[in-house]
Amino acid sequence: MIDSRRTTPLGKQIVVTGAAGFIGSHLVDALTERGCQVMGVDRRNVTDDPFAAMNLAVAAENPQVRMVHADLADADLAEVVAGADTVFHMAAVPGVRTSWGDRFPDYVRSNITATQRLLTACEQKGVRRLVIASSSSVYGTSNGPSREQDPTGPLSPYGVTKLAAEQLCLAHARRADTALSVVALRYFTVYGPRQRPGMAINQLLLSALTGAVIPLYGDGRQRREFTYISDVITATLAAAEAGVKAAVVNVGGGTSITMQQALQLAGEVTGRPVAVAELDDQAGDVRATEADLTLAGRVLGYRPAVELHDGMAAQAAWLATLTDAQRHSLLRDQLAVTR
């Protein structure tokens, strides 16, 4: 639902769920640069998760940030969101391949049940805007640029849970008795510094930097639209102030390329070869992702600014600043995710 009126500004009191993660930690940093007071919520603990600690290294030194160690599926969320103007819901269990089988109950608990509990708390405490991180995985098979009004048909349990979370948010926002408004952002494969293990760009760049052999699923001709983290943060902040009541909006990088092209780019930006082991297609992997960004331009004023070559070079430069132990730890975790 598009509203021609602009909503009230972002506000000063902000909650970010999934604050210790890839996107969440970048969002926390961007919000503090705007002068916001941020409460970050995450079930990961910086004391025993080295990557959470690394992601929050800047935020941990900032008096504008208060971190809360909590699980959204059972915490007192009314207390968490009390006084917040905007809630950015970045928390979720990610991953297409790992969503099959025994781990599925955690996807339901973290992606659906936790979202429902957060929505109820936001309504109770008068939060005006919730921005939720959704995924291009909700589309499933596509023969061209995906538009928000296209039919959805996720091919993985992960995609099913993200679509369910979207629909819960929209249902709450459309209630006649609520002041809560919602924007669900369908992110298309986000990459950049702090990218989580198991994602393609991290795999390719770490292979080049360490010489490790990494898996390449399928024939390499499958296409992905990659979106740099700073573009995602720009769109996410814009979503907090967009003139909408209940909306779903694509956020993409502007170009869809094959995995073979991505492999070649990784070699170019590092100056080193990428070693891959070719494996069969995996259940849930779609053949192509590509975003139609017409609505993003109209509602968010969004246009991607970072070219893939430049973004991959920035990510490679960040990986190069890590210690050998950190890189090998990231690679070890990454290969565990992709098995």
Q: Is residue 259 part of a domain?
A: no
Angle between helices 259-270 and 308-321 (to 10 degrees): 50
Whichever domain contains 60, its CATH number is: 3.40.50.720
Q: For residue range 263-279, list pLDDT tens digits in order.
A: 999 999 999 999 988 87
Does the residue 59 lie in any domain?
yes
139 catalytic per annotation: no
pLDDT at 337 over 60: no
The alpha carbons of the chain give a radius of gyration, in whole angstroms, of 19
Q: Indicate whether 222 belongs to any domain.
A: no
Residue 26 resides in a domain = yes
- pLDDT over 80 at 1, yes or no: no
Q: Which two tokens stand for residue 272?
A: 């080193």
Q: What is the pLDDT of residue 4?
A: 37
Which structure tokens are listed for 291?
A: 């975003």
Q: Is residue 335 part of a domain?
A: no
Residue 208 has pLDDT above 80, yes or no: yes
Structure confidence at residue 5 (pLDDT) = 39
Give 26-43 pLDDT, tens digit per residue. 999 999 999 999 999 999
Give residue 239's identity as a one-letter amino acid code. A
In a domain, 136, yes or no: yes
Number of domains, the chain: 1
| Enclosing domain of residue 234 | 13-194+227-253+288-306
CA separation for the pair 184, 72 (Å, rounded)? 18
Q: Is residue 246 part of a domain?
A: yes
- Of 235, 276, 222, the closest CA to residue 27 belongs to 235
Work out the mean pLDDT of the chain and round it to a whole number. Answer: 92
- Catalytic residue from among 139, 158, 191, 302: 158
CA dihedral 165, 167, 168, 174 (to 10 degrees): 150
What does the CA dihedral 197, 202, 204, 207 come to, rounded to 10 degrees?
-70
Determine the Cα–Cα distance for residues 25 and 318; give it in Å rounded to an integer: 15
pLDDT tens digits for 91-149? 999 988 889 989 999 999 999 999 999 999 999 999 999 999 999 999 998 889 999 99
44 occurs within a structural domain: yes
What CA–CA distance (Å, rounded) separates 52 from 222? 31
Supply the pLDDT for residue 336: 44
| Percent of the chain residues past pLDDT 70, beyond the cut | 95
Tokens of 207: 């292979």
